[in-house]
Amino acid sequence: MTETVSTREATMAPPRRRNRMSAQEARTALVFLLPSLLGFIAFMLFPIIASLAISFTNWQLISAPSFVGFANYQRLFTLDPAFYTVLGNTLFFTLEYLVLNIVLSLGLAVWISSLKRGQRWFRVIFFLPTFTPAIAASVVWLLIFTPGGFMDTVFQTLALHVPNLLLDPKLAMQAVIIVTLWANVGYNMVLFNAALDLVPQSYLEAAKIDGASAWDRFWKIRLPLISPTVFFGTVMTAITSLQVFDQIYVVTRGGPGSATATLGFAIYQNGFGNYQMGYASALAWVMFIIIMALTALQFWLQRKWVHYDS
Amino acid sequence: MTANALPTAAARPRRKQKNAGLKLFLDILNHGALTLVALAFLFPFFWMVSNAVRSDAEVLAVPPRLLPTEWQWENFAEAWLRLPFGRFFLNSAIVAGGVTAITIVVSALAAYAFARLRFPGRDSIFVAYLGTLMIPQVMLVIPLFLIVNQLGWVNTYQGMILPMAFSSFGAFLLRQFFLSIPRELEEAALIDGASRLRILVSIIIPLSLPAIGLLALFTFIGQWNNFLWPLVVVNGMEYATLPLGLSMFQTEQGTSWNYIMAGAALSMLPGLVLAVILQQVIYKGITVGAGFGGR
């Protein structure tokens, strides 16, 4: 490593002293970087490569793994009837949750920014659950949803004939979405609220004088100006929601049947329930590719609605 | 207010005053409506505490009562000592504290190298770090478990801490911050012959405390709330963290809901306290995110 430095510096024909100094600088850099680099290689780079390698084996922990080529991927797409259910559940969850999260967090952000006083206290209230364990939020909501519990009582009192959310295969995912929204909507709310604060007041006043209504001011001035932040929030939320696991593990266990089994849950179940490390790794790579594809799609779509001018 | 300032224009101030009255009314209505929404939003917290301090039989009564007939605050002590949520609390603190301490030291060193030192391959290593920011945790969990299992670290603190302590995010965040510090501040020290480590510790880090504090806060909370990794690498109660302990009791038949709610409240406490006390810090930190997303 030191050699490459000296040769590169030598071609630029620097004085001797500088040459020695940059070699020393590179050595210092190596010492500074070493702890991070070792950890990065051991717990990030190597696991990523290992994960790909394992996905081409039939490793089951007890027996030695053997190479099976694309058999795991073939099984996924052609043999395993559960895979398309899981994929459908994941995309359904992500789509509905993403839309509701962005609409609600943006709505709350605008509402809070319209207040004359107490903005920061409302911000804190809606932000609170994002700092608490998803598992804790999930057990609390599980008690709310439990048959004969608070939610059922509310439905009964209002004379709504809604079956228990956890027992109905069509509604169970809605329970998961409610928990996830409650637990996470505050983060994007604060993000968007902060962006709204940065919109120059003079723009809004000029529009007001020209007779633009609050509605127009939102759609034509504020939303376009904060659209890069909304885009950022949408991309990050999509990436995390494709991985949803904690809430499902506690609230529904993927049930009833497999109505709420998502990719994250299926990876855990195959890997640590059935010890099929190879198959679970193949599922994980499918998830990673979906994350990349969805993110690429969003970057492509952003040209239609995100405004980046200063 | 304007009425006094402009006594000559008699007609206009009166209309303005009426408008001001209407405006005040709408303003109060606006605050009131959002207060109702906020109260509904806080309901799960209320429900958790209200069920934590009643008897188990009353938790499952149909229809549920809003408040307990008898307030059993001793349920918290019971959950802390007997279940043992006290032990889980300690494990969570050790793991989250350990990951945070290592992350800060390792990230600061690496970030300084990335921000200030010239060495071959710097930019490609940095790009490799950035590239892993999008890797889903659930994908890493399988190979990480196999590594930790091989090392005999299942059910150990090092097995819980080390694999989580080297996120590239920390190095990335601190590098961006270090780059914003003027170089002139360290040049004098360099000429005086101070070592790079000395410069990092006595010049750069004191100037970067807001960024380091933010990284520490978000790392600590992230690890305190982490569930998937403890679930994979721990079995049994001895090393269970709070989220893992909660899920263990929830799946066990016959565990009392009131104690689970008490445990949930205990697990939420540090995050809630930090969110309230450090609200301005968090807001500023996320604002950086807002600006960053706008780039």
Is the bond into B63 cis (omega within 30 degrees of 0)?
yes
Tell if the CB–CB gap between A128 and B272 is shorter than 8 Å: yes
Give CA–CA dist A53/A48, Å, rounded: 9
Q: What is the pLDDT of residues B25-38, one digit of tens each?
A: 988 999 999 999 99
Mean pLDDT of B224-237: 94
CATH level 3 topology of B84-255: MetI-like fold (1.10.3720)
Q: So where are chain B's domains?
A: 84-255
Q: Are A173 and A259 in contact (CB under 8 A)?
A: yes
Task: Identify the closest residue of chain B to A238 by CA–CA distance.
Answer: B134
Report the candidate in B76, B78, B103 with the shortest Cα–Cα distance to residue B269: B76
Residue B5 has pLDDT above 50, yes or no: no
Tell if the CB–CB gap between B44 and A120 is shorter than 8 Å: no
A299 at interface of B, judged by CB pairs closer than 8 A: no
- Which ipTM did the prediction report? 0.88
Give CA–CA dist A189/A103, Å, rounded: 10
Give CA–CA dist A183/B129, Å, rounded: 29
Tell if the CB–CB gap between B293 and A43 is shorter than 8 Å: no
Mean pLDDT of A123-137: 95
Tell if the CB–CB gap between B268 and A231 is shorter than 8 Å: no
First vs last Cα of chain B: how many Å apart?
Answer: 43
Token duo for residue A45: 């780079």
Tell if the CB–CB gap between A44 and B135 is shorter than 8 Å: yes
Q: What is the DSSP letter of B26?
A: H
Q: What is the pLDDT of residues A20-79, one digit of tens each?
A: 668 888 899 999 999 999 999 999 999 999 999 999 998 887 778 888 888 889 898 988
Q: What's residue B293's pLDDT?
A: 39
Give CA–CA dist B180/B168, Å, rounded: 19
Q: Does domain A72-305 have CATH number 1.10.3720.10?
A: yes
Of A50, A182, A192, the CB nearest to B44: A182
Choose, out of B49, B134, B137, B142, the residue to mutate when testing the contact with A (most A CBs < 10 Å): B142
- Confidence bin at A3 (pLDDT 50/70/90): very low
Burial of A135 (0-12, 13-18, 19+ CB in 10 A): buried
Choose, out of B46, B53, B119, B130, the residue to mutate when testing the contact with A (most A CBs < 10 Å): B119
Burial of B71 (0-12, 13-18, 19+ CB in 10 A): exposed
All residues of chain A having their beta carbon less than 8 Å from the beta carbon of residue B64 are 149-150, 153
**To the nearest whole angstrom, how far is the Cα of B206 from the nearest Cα of chain A?**
18
Give CA–CA dist A244/A173, Å, rounded: 12
CA distance readout (Å), A255 to A133, A141, A251, B54: 22, 16, 9, 30
Mean pLDDT of A161-169: 90
Chains A, B: CB contacts within 8 A come to 295
Mean pLDDT of A246-262: 92
Task: Identify the closest residue of chain A to B118 by CA–CA distance.
Answer: A26
Task: Identify the closest residue of chain A to B200 by CA–CA distance.
Answer: A32
Tell if the CB–CB gap between B143 and A54 is shorter than 8 Å: yes
Residue B290 has pLDDT above 70, yes or no: no
Token duo for residue A219: 């759609």
Helices and strands: H and E segment counts in chain B: 17, 0
Sign of dihedral through CA atoms B206, B207, B213, B219?
negative
Q: What is the pLDDT of residues B161-199, one digit of tens each?
A: 999 999 888 999 899 889 988 888 888 888 888 899 999
Q: What's residue B84's pLDDT?
A: 87
Residue type, A217: R
Q: Are A193 and A104 in contact (CB under 8 A)?
A: no
Give CA–CA dist B62/B267, Å, rounded: 27
Q: Are B51 and B257 in contact (CB under 8 A)?
A: yes
Give CA–CA dist A82/A87, Å, rounded: 9
Of A36, A123, A281, the CB nearest to B171: A36
A42 at interface of B, judged by CB pairs closer than 8 A: yes
